[in-house]
Each structure stands twice: as C-alpha cells, then as structure tokens.
C-alpha cells in the first residue's frame, strides 16, 4: 500500500506537472530550433513572441466571454487561439520584413541577428505591456480537473491523492497533435521538404529552385503558431505574467541546445529532459521517502535545490551539454 502511495505521489507531484511543463517547453523549443535551422540565429525575442500571442488570445477570450460564448468544460481560450496565432504570425512577418530581411540579404554575422532580435524583444515586450499591462492574468475557465484529489481517494482508497488538471491534459493532447501535424508537414508535404532542404544546405536548395522568401515566411508563421500555442498552454496551466515569459527563455534555449539546435526531434526530447530535471531536482522528496523507507527519519526536506533556483537547473544542464557535447544529444548544427 505504501509503495502504491509513493507511486501516486510521484505521479501527482513530479510526473504529471513535469510532463505538462515539458510539453510547453518542447513547443517553445521547436519554434526556437526551427528559426535557428532556417534563419540561423538564436531568437531572443521568442519568449516575448509567446507573451504577445498569449496576450492577444486573452483579449479575444475576454471578448468571447463577453459575448457569452464558452466551450463547456474546455477553456474558452482554445476558441480564441486562432486569433492569437493570426495576430502573432502577422507581427512575426512584419518584423521579418522590417528588421531581419535586411541582415539576411547582407549575410551579416549571426550575432548581429541575435542583437536585432534583442531589439525586437524590447518592442514586443512594450507591445504586450501596452495591450494587457504587466499584471498577472488568469484566464482559464471551464472544468478545473479531470480527476481531483477527493474523487481519486474515494475511487482507490489510498491516502495519497492525485489531481489531474484539465489544463495539463489539454497541454499533453494539444502538444501531441501539434507535433504530429508539424512532422507530417515537414516530412510529407512539398513545402515542408523545401524547408528541410533549405535548413540542410542553403545554396543547394537555392540551386534546386526553392523560393527562399517562401521558406522564410513559412518558418515565421509556424514559429509564431508554435509560440502562441506554447504560451497559451503555459498561461492556462500557470498564469499569464509577461515577465515570466521572458524568464522562460532560458529553459527553452536549454531545451533546444540539449536536443541540438536546428533539430526538431531534439527540441522535443530537450523540453522533457529540462522539465523533468527541473521538477525532480526542486521537489522535496521527504514525503515519498516516508512511504518507501518508514524507518528513516531525515532532517531536511530532501530537496536538492529550492524552487526559486529552478532556472539554475536549466543552466547547469546547458553547461553540461556545452562542455561535453556542444552539438546536443541529437547532433544539431555545429556552426
């Protein structure tokens, strides 16, 4: 019985939250890695792109709620998502035309593009603040839980409860669907193949008649879509606060680099590696140790690192990867 309790506690406090968080990071890292693969720079504005997309989605959600439209048990934000994606994609295309294209044509060093993306980050940050302010917003509605703690206890008779939030279930389902659609697009459609060819070898792709402008446009649209979905899911699961979206940039970069920059499968794996390490290292294991080894009475909480240092986990993972395998686990681009 105690072992079952321990398993449930691990599921409840580690596996489920980490899986949801990992899916959100994976979607964010996919956007970063795609932009890296095609446009060949690390986009520092990605966190604020997520924030902008989420802000637009929240505004649309409020509009829908004002009209009295809802989706029953599901959050209304899902209905508003296409609006957010469209607005973010439009903004991404505008910034590409106004900012990045100039440098791309000039073929400047990648670090100049990174710097330009910092300027774009400033702009998007200001836009988001203009749209919705800097305060925390909660916009999840509908049913809160798929399974809540009390029902689970009554169902199983265990002392340990298990909660599975709707937003967590939704995150996992949507992430699977989005990743499936993305890989179908990249591997099966002509445009997707063009994108992969361009990423592998730009000159060869140009020689075979691939239109670079179209590839770049598609990349921005897909990246903006992924960023908005990741941002909305993260905001539904936790809460929307613009500054948190700036901070999530570090775990997202860590995920993309762990998997190998430019490699989509790596980005997904990286997202889960970062999320599981972060949750496992900052979780106090005292309760689970109590179930498994009742005789052992440790003094502390058995927490390796305080939750306030969760970003340190992504950083250490990043450092370890840079030290031992700079191209990432799945062999991304090394240049």
Partner 1 sequence: MSTNRQADRASPWRAPILFALLAVLFVMEGTMRNAMFSGSWNTALGILNMGLISAITALGVNMQWGYAGLFNVGVVGFLALGGVAPVLIATQPVPGAWSTGGVRLLIALAVGLGTLALAAQAWKLLRAGRGLVVLMILITGFVVYRWLFDPAVLAIEGNNPSRHGNIGGLGLPVLLSWLVGGAFAAAAAWAVGKVALGLRSDYLAIATLGIGEIIVAVLKNEDWLARGVKNVTSIPRPVPYEIDLQNNPEFVAFAHSWGFSAAEASGIWVKICYMLLFLVVLLAIILLAELALKSPWGRMMRAIRDNETAAEAMGKDVTARHLQIFVLGSAVIGIAGAMMITQDGLMAPVGYNPLRYTFLIWVMVIVGGSGNNWGAVLGAVLIWFLWIKAEVWGPALIAFLTAPLPDGGLKAHLLESAAHMRFIAMGLVLLLVLRFAPRGLVPEQ
What is the smallest separation between the CB atom of 309 and partner 1, expressed in angstroms?
6
Burial of 191 (0-12, 13-18, 19+ CB in 10 A): middle
Which CB, 134 or 155, lies closer to partner 1?
A: 134
Stretch that binds partner 1, among 104-112, 159-167, 174-182, 216-224 (CB under 8 A): 104-112
Q: How far is the CB of 302 from partner 1 (least distance, A)?
A: 11
Cβ nearer to partner 1, comparing 75 with 271: 271
Of the two residues 118 and 177, which places its CB atom closer to partner 1 in the complex? 118
CB of 125 to partner 1, least distance (A): 5
Binding mask 82-101 for partner 1 (x = CB under 8 A): -----------------x--
Structure tokens given for 135: 């305060």
Q: Which of 102, 180, 184, 293 binds partner 1 (CB under 8 A)?
A: 102
Strand partners of residue 164 = 147
Long-range contacts, stretch 194-199, CB < 8 angstroms, 24+ apart: 195/38, 195/219, 198/38, 199/37, 199/38, 199/262
- Figure out which of the listed residues 9, 232, 257, 279 binds partner 1, where binding follows CB under 8 A: 257
> Cβ closer to partner 1: 5 or 33?
33
Whole-number Å distance between alpha carbons of 6 and 88: 43
59 vs 229 by CB, closer to partner 1: 59
Please report how close the Cβ of residue 196 comes to partner 1 at its closest, in angstroms: 21
Enumerate residues 33-72 that contact partner 1 by CB under 8 A: 41-42, 44
Least Å distance, CB 110 to partner 1, is 6
- Using CB under 8 A as the binding rule, the residues of this chain from 107 to 136 that contact partner 1 are 108-112, 114-116, 118-127, 129-130, 133-134
Of 66 and 209, which CB lies nearer to partner 1 in the complex structure? 66
**Whole-angstrom distance between the N-terminal and C-terminal Cα of the chain?**
53
CB 313 within 8 A of CB 305: yes
Residue with smaller CB distance to partner 1, 86 or 131: 131
Interface with partner 1: number of residues (CB under 8 A): 49
Smallest gap, in angstroms, from Cβ of residue 333 to partner 1? 9
Q: Could you say whether residue 314 binds partner 1 (CB under 8 A)? A: yes
Question: Should residue 295 be labelled a site residue for partner 1 when binding is judged by CB under 8 A?
Answer: no
Which residue number, 129 or 138, has a Cβ lying nearer to partner 1?
A: 129
CB of 126 to partner 1, least distance (A): 3
Among 90, 286, 312, 329, binds partner 1 (CB under 8 A): 312
Name the residues that contact partner 1, by CB under 8 A: 41-42, 44, 99, 102, 108-112, 114-116, 118-127, 129-130, 133-134, 246-247, 249-250, 253-254, 257, 300, 306, 308-309, 311-312, 314-315, 318-319, 322-323, 326, 334-335
């Amino acid at each position: 019985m105690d072992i079952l309790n321990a398993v449930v506690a691990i599921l409840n406090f580690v596996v489920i939250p980490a899986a949801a968080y990992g899916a959100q990071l994976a979607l964010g890292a996919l956007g970063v890695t795609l932009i890296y693969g095609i446009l060949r720079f690390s986009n520092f504005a990605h966190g604020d792109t997520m924030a902008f997309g989420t802000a637009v989605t929240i505004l649309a959600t409020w509009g829908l709620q004002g009209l009295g439209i809802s989706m029953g048990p599901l959050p209304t934000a899902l209905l508003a998502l296409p609006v957010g994606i469209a607005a973010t994609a439009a903004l991404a295309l505008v910034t590409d035309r106004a900012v990045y294209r100039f440098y791309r044509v000039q073929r400047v060093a990648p670090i100049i593009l990174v710097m330009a993306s910092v300027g774009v980050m400033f702009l998007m940050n200001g836009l988001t603040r203009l749209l919705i302010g800097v305060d925390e917003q909660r916009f999840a509605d509908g049913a809160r839980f798929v399974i809540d703690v009390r029902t689970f206890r009554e169902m199983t008779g265990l002392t340990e409860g298990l909660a599975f939030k709707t937003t967590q279930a939704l995150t996992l389902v949507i992430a699977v669907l989005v990743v499936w659609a993305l890989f179908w697009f990249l591997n099966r459609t002509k445009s997707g193949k063009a994108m992969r060819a361009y990423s592998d070898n730009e000159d060869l792709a140009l020689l075979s008649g691939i239109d670079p402008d179209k590839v770049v446009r598609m990349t921005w649209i897909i990246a903006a879509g992924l960023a908005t979905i990741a941002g909305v899911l993260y905001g539904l699961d936790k809460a929307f606060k613009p500054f948190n979206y700036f901070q999530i940039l570090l775990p997202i970069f860590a995920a993309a680099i762990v998997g190998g920059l430019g490699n989509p499968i790596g980005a997904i794996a990286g997202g889960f590696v970062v999320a599981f390490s972060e949750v496992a290292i900052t979780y106090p294991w005292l309760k689970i140790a109590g179930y498994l080894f009742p005789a052992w009475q440790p003094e502390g909480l058995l927490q390796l690192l305080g939750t306030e240092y969760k970003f340190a986990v992504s950083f250490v993972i990043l450092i370890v990867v840079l030290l031992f395998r700079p191209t990432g686990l799945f062999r991304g681009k090394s240049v």
